[in-house]
Structure 1
Amino acid sequence: ERRKALDRFYGAVHHQGSVYPATAASLPFLLELAADGATPDRAAIVALMVSIGRESLDQGFEDDGTEIEYCPPMGCGQAVAFLRERGAQFAGLARDPDPDVRLAAIGGLGLFLDDADRAAALLRGRLAAEEGIAARLRIVQAAATLALRLPAASQQVMDWLAGLAADPAQGPATRLAALVQRARCAPEEIGEDVVPAAVGLLRETARALPVQRIAPAPSRPATPTDTVAPQIVAAFEDLDRHTRVYAPTTALLRTFHEALGARVPERTAVLAEQLSSADPGSCLDAVRMSGELMRTWRGDHTRLLLLVADQLTAADQEVAAEAAAVLESCHPIAAPAREALAAHIDAQRVAHGPQAWAAPQAMLRRSHQEAVRALARLGDRRALPSLLAALDSDVDAWHAIQVAGHLPQAADQLVPRLCDHLRRFDLSQQWTEMSANAILAALAALGDPAAVPVVVDTLGAAVRHEQHGVTRSALKALGAFGPAATGAREMIRSLTTATDAHVRPAAVAALWAAGGDLAEVMPLLLSLLDDRITFRISDAADLLGEIGPPASVALPRLRNLLMHDYEWVRVHCAAALWEIGGQAEAPAVLNVLLQAMAQNPATANHVVACLDRMGPLAAPALPLLHEQLALPRRGGRYQSLDHDEELQRVGRTLIARLDKRHEAAPPTPPQPGRWAPAPPR
């Protein structure tokens, strides 16, 4: 009952770290409970108060102490003021006889005490008194928080941390924590000796801590699979996994990686040591951190990919499963791990039979499935037997369907099975939408016209049951089949006047792809250009660009849309303007593209793709292209690994082509009135 009450409290007034006036108003009552030794579970209440204070400081105030506009009125300010006034009580809780209460309260010493000297002295005293590794790590962390929050405490705390890191009388975990938190206080001062020292202390710490088996995840009630999409069930299982931490040093090492930032080689060296640990929990946490590094930062990750691939043979199946999942999530750069993935899959099939995909042991099944998915995303046919087994057995078939489109060389075996699954969906049930969409996307990627009749039947069923998402996916699939979908034109045509915002542009695109007449399609596209819904304008512009010069009647409207207030609309319309109007439109197109990319880096993939098509006329973009590719953090749409890798590939090719042409061409004197792109804002 107490746990339920605490969960309800978090959900009501501290959801995802939010701080409202009601949150602040509850603090006196929470502190009263925490101060009463008879209250059960006091540590959870103290941790809640520390969380409220930390979030109030992080979200509610700028560095100069002024309240941020988006913070609920008075909520953060009230919370911080109350907790700072009660700093002495937190100092008392940090000396409580209950070790869990002390552990929860330690963070408050760095957050709520405004007397720098007193706070630093209290933390030094607590470190001398505490023996547990968790408490000692928390104390050192609180000291760094104090130094970052109060300039008056900064130098004395950093000197203390430096002394701790060099003190052989301290345990290796405490010394490692001091070194890391000192780096957190001043990341710009991290020298060449810091990472080797951290690696040495990490090695000593690993030897000092006991090796423990990974505890099984807590059991949860089974989710009904006939009313909930399996993708949703899996998403919550992933959340459960990723909120679990297995090693006491994991939070500390995450802090170190954050302080190192873009220093990819140094971070790889630290992760290499983490991955060599004999403790499976430490390895599992390190595998996850490796994935985070590769997905967030650019660089040569070959060594790290191979180190993660080595974990596929780990004795603990959960570590192997996590390694396979990381390689799957990093598939655009995972080619160095290809052979390790194939060997892992083969070994599992030899040991557990051809049905390893459906193995009853959960971790073995996950390890096999993630490795198969990673290999399939690399376009490797060796993943096919397991994918076919999944589709034939219908065990976790959705997991195989998501990657089936990456094996077009096996379309003759995949398409009949995918069509069979698609036929069996009952589109009167809303929960089937995600699975139907995934199959339609896979069929579109495979491009086998044999799937057209089933896709047409699915389209009809989706329209009858008003499944607009499936309707759009079926239309996109028919569009991918091109003239092979000519027989469906009447059904497609009937949807070009649909009221659903997504269905109508998808129907127009499918009608054109299926051999539609330009005279019929153009009025529909011009109407979409006049729409108030921005993605409809962008979809119409994309199709007009595909049509090219025959769509010249749209040029005046596209030119006007270059002044639209949404940069995504401007980018799509500029690209269409280039495809239709060509060289004559280049100055205006370049101006829009470069300003949009400077304003919103998420547009970079679309911008660079259009610049690549423009060829030599894209030369004025060279400075911005060089600037974009020099960034250490991944960019492009969603800052995702796959979009960023594509952005880098196209960008480097274009730069090389433009630089080569520039070197070969004789210098051209400036011309009066010659257009130049506006400088990025």
Structure 2
Amino acid sequence: MLDGLHDIDWASMEHAYGSAEEIPALLTALASPDAAERHKAFDRFYGAVHHQGSVYPPTAATLPFLFELTADRAAPDRAAVVALLVSIGRESLERGFEDDGTEIDYYPPTGYAQAIGFLRERGAAFVELARDRDPDVRLAAIPGLGLFIDDTDLATGVLCERLAAEPGVAARLRIVEAAAALALRLPAASPQIRDWLGGLASDPAQDSTTRLAALVQQARCAPEEIGEGVVPAAVGLLRESARALPVRPIAPAPALPTASGDGVAPQIVAAFEDLDRHTRVHAPTTGLLRTFHEALGARVPERTAVLAEQLRSPGPGSRLDAVRMSGELMREWRGDHTRLLQLVASQLATDEQEIAAEAATVLESCHPIAAPAREALAAHVDSHRATHGPNVWATPQPQLRRAHQEAVRALARLGDTRALPSLLTALDSGVDAWRAIQVAGHLPQAAQQLVPGLDAHLRRLDLSQQWNEMSANAILRALATLGDSAAVPVVVDTLGAAVRDEQHDITRSALKTLAVFGPAAAGARNMIRSLSKTTDGHVPSAAVAALWAVGGDLDEVMPLLLNLLDDPITFRISDAADLLGEIGPPASVALPRLRALLRHDYEWVRVPCAAALWEIGGEAEASAVLDTLLEAWAQNPATANHVVACLDRMGPLAAPALPLLRERLAQPGRGDRFQSIAHDEELQRASRTVIARLDPPTPGAATVRVT
């Protein structure tokens, strides 16, 4: 076993974390009789040698030895080794070639081409593994039939054979998926395989889950050919499949290592918990349905119909996965999501607290469009408080606590004061207060009630401890949004502590908060002035902005702003340009430098400088400003919100932007700025406003809303 392992110069190669010299020990450990040692070796292999799917030269070099391990029927964890082989091959196929089939040239070098070649040469080995007496080995090997065999007749023959022989749902789903992978990899085989899939989908002798899988995979092979009858047929098969599959409770999440307390921010702990939560799959058909949604793409009404059926499933795991998929649809695609929001909100009433919590989480993440769920959220929060008491926010029952907190947060993000009692409970008790702080700024009408608690939490933070940075910044953002000048003293004290403890990010946040308070923070002017001359990160530009806000002394801030325009650090230039635009025509001395910066090689410098140029110079600068904005938008769609905001202010002079505005508004995806619902909804609103102003509809003509 593993002959020749030590003949390879592993130390001369590198994986994700440096030298690959540990690989012989890892491969040996994969065959260990000690289960704990094998588990540790697999973890390390996936974490370093096959890091996040990457295939390095040493990864490819392990393939002959991994095959040796699969050949020994007495070796433990053979199925896991086969799964590792398939993962390496799949990732190599997906990442190793451009769309035109040419090999991608990476630096540092990768092992994609070597891995693909090796696995295709040994494609026949997957035929034997797919017939293995161990069902787990067969299950792991089935995808290899579609990925690594170039003989279409051989591959399809084995797939048909295995479909007839395999009784399990998981295996049958993988067989049908492998057939589609084969069709997509070998276009000449596609018609034959698609016909086979179509026959399976319409064969009443097949079980409903297999028929659904065949229908979905056929759609995956040719999404452009999905006809009107496909979604209704899929919904019907999904309903039959849900009735046929056994209903199982949601499996409890595995215990994660918990932070010891000091040294790890609670936000970080929660982020890892969320990551683990969102990588878990609870129903056997979830992967298949994800494939269907990917094939349907921008067809929002059809996808909503499928999700509606998923959300009616008798299986709680299916409903939980469907809630998450609903959030993904709304975050990625534009459209009227009212029905889907209401369907997700209906899951709040379930007895399954994990589903209710996930529904609330989705509604929070979609808060800019979640108004249709407002009353359901409020009823859910009120029901919790009536049933479990006013301190339910801090209940020791983890699932109930998460369900309540997520619903409160979602309601608060809608600006609904019915969230306020639980937020105040959080601030008073200190239990998960950071979660309340993150949403407190959405209730400015309750500022007088919220600010004292926020002040108290900010005063208690030890800013000498790095892990408190996230909490301090969150509180400062909330105070800035609430805008109650009663918070000025604590913000000034926080600024002093942050400067003393060299917490530059907190210093910047405190300065931005003081800028919101304007002249009410004039007592801190000397401290702010001293910080305008520092060289720490964003601090100098934030200090200049605060200095202008609290004092309004143009003679004082203009030299500082001109210096920032000459700074080699790009974000300082952008910050200075933003403030110059706010000052407007009195800042005309900056016009020559702003004009020169329109030639900067970074679009995130050019756009704010162009916007400032318009605010200061007006119509005389319109041509250069417009050219810069449209060029930057075409180059980097993430600049869209900033560009359209300036176009809105330019009025009729923005007319040449109409074609691009219409083109981008007609796009179905939320792709312009980080697929953020908030950014995209604001972009759509602003774009419609500009279009309506520049090209008003003819009186009496029908108005069509583009989504």
1:562 aligns with 598
After TM superposition, list the pairs within 5 Å mapping 1:142-541 onto structure 2: 142-541=178-577
2:45 maps to 1:9? yes
CA displacement at 1:663 relative to structure 2: 8.6
CA displacement at 1:597 relative to structure 2: 1.0
2:579 maps to 1:543? yes
1:120 aligns with 156
Separation of aligned partners in 2, 1:224 and 1:151: 55
* Mapped contact 1:492–1:510 kept (Cα < 8 A): yes
CA displacement at 1:503 relative to structure 2: 0.9
Separation of aligned partners in 2, 1:71 and 1:507: 41
CA displacement at 1:661 relative to structure 2: 8.6
Task: Give 3-state SS (helix, strand or coil) of 2:604's partner.
Answer: helix
Residue type of the alignment partner of 2:422: S
Quick check: 108-117 or 300-309, which moved more?
108-117
Question: CA offsets per residue over residues 4-53 of structure 1, 9 Å max, x none?
Answer: 11001111111111110010001111111111111111111111110000
CA RMSD of aligned residues (A): 1.2
Which of 47, 67, 84 is the aligned partner of 2:83?
47
Change over 3 Å in CA distance of 1:469–1:41 after alignment to 2:
same
Residue type of the alignment partner of 1:474: A
Residue type of the alignment partner of 2:50: H
Separation of aligned partners in 1, 2:529 and 2:295: 57
Task: Give 3-state SS (helix, strand or coil) of 1:262's partner.
Answer: coil
Quick check: 247-256 or 628-637, which moved more?
628-637
Separation of aligned partners in 2, 1:225 and 1:385: 27
After TM superposition, list the pairs within 5 Å mapping 1:494-643 onto structure 2: 494-643=530-679
Separation of aligned partners in 2, 1:65 and 1:641: 35
* Mapped contact 2:641–2:679 kept (Cα < 8 A): yes
* Mapped contact 1:87–1:109 kept (Cα < 8 A): yes
Change over 3 Å in CA distance of 1:72–1:205 after alignment to 2:
farther
Paired-residue identity, %? 79
* Mapped contact 2:344–2:359 kept (Cα < 8 A): yes
CA displacement at 1:657 relative to structure 2: 1.6
Residue type of the alignment partner of 1:328: E
Task: Give 3-state SS (helix, strand or coil) of 2:674's partner.
Answer: helix
CA displacement at 1:71 relative to structure 2: 6.4
Which stretches in structure 1 are left out of the alignment for 5+ residues? 665-681
* Mapped contact 1:423–1:458 kept (Cα < 8 A): yes
* Mapped contact 1:274–1:286 kept (Cα < 8 A): yes
Task: Give 3-state SS (helix, strand or coil) of 2:228's partner.
Answer: coil
* Mapped contact 1:427–1:462 kept (Cα < 8 A): yes
CA displacement at 1:636 relative to structure 2: 3.0
Separation of aligned partners in 2, 1:587 and 1:63: 39
Residue type of the alignment partner of 2:267: Q
Separation of aligned partners in 2, 1:130 and 1:628: 48
CA displacement at 1:116 relative to structure 2: 1.3
* Mapped contact 1:120–1:153 kept (Cα < 8 A): no
* Mapped contact 2:55–2:110 kept (Cα < 8 A): no
Question: CA offsets per residue over residues 223-259 of structure 1, 9 Å max, x none?
Answer: 1222110110000000110011000000000000000
Residue type of the alignment partner of 1:573: C
Separation of aligned partners in 1, 2:130 and 2:216: 23
CA displacement at 1:61 relative to structure 2: 1.2
* Mapped contact 2:258–2:269 kept (Cα < 8 A): no
Separation of aligned partners in 1, 2:70 and 2:48: 20
Residue type of the alignment partner of 1:567: E
Task: Give 3-state SS (helix, strand or coil) of 2:670's partner.
Answer: coil
Change over 3 Å in CA distance of 1:64–1:411 after alignment to 2:
closer
Task: Give 3-state SS (helix, strand or coil) of 2:696's partner.
Answer: helix
2:143 maps to 1:107? yes
Separation of aligned partners in 1, 2:424 and 2:159: 60
Residue type of the alignment partner of 1:28: P
Question: CA offsets per residue over residues 98-128 of structure 1, 9 Å max, x none?
Answer: 1111111111110000111111111111111
State the TM-score, normalizing by the size of structure 2: 0.93
Question: CA offsets per residue over residues 554-602 of structure 1, 9 Å max, x none?
Answer: 0000001111111111111000000000111111111111111111111
Residue type of the alignment partner of 1:244: R
Separation of aligned partners in 2, 1:225 and 1:511: 38
CA displacement at 1:220 relative to structure 2: 2.3
Residue type of the alignment partner of 1:23: T
2:121 maps to 1:92? no
1:80 aligns with 116
1:669 aligns with none
* Mapped contact 1:625–1:651 kept (Cα < 8 A): yes
Count residues in correspondence. Answer: 664
Quick check: 626-635 or 652-661, which moved more?
652-661
2:101 aligns with 65
Task: Give 3-state SS (helix, strand or coil) of 1:69's partner.
Answer: coil
Separation of aligned partners in 2, 1:376 and 1:615: 35
2:49 maps to 1:30? no
Separation of aligned partners in 2, 1:471 and 1:350: 42
Which stretches in structure 2 are left out of the alignment for 5+ residues? 1-36, 701-707
Separation of aligned partners in 2, 1:265 and 1:327: 19
* Mapped contact 1:602–1:639 kept (Cα < 8 A): no
Task: Give 3-state SS (helix, strand or coil) of 1:39's partner.
Answer: coil
* Mapped contact 1:21–1:72 kept (Cα < 8 A): no
Task: Give 3-state SS (helix, strand or coil) of 2:573's partner.
Answer: helix
Change over 3 Å in CA distance of 1:661–1:161 after alignment to 2:
closer
* Mapped contact 2:504–2:537 kept (Cα < 8 A): no
Separation of aligned partners in 1, 2:690 and 2:198: 48
2:177 maps to 1:141? yes
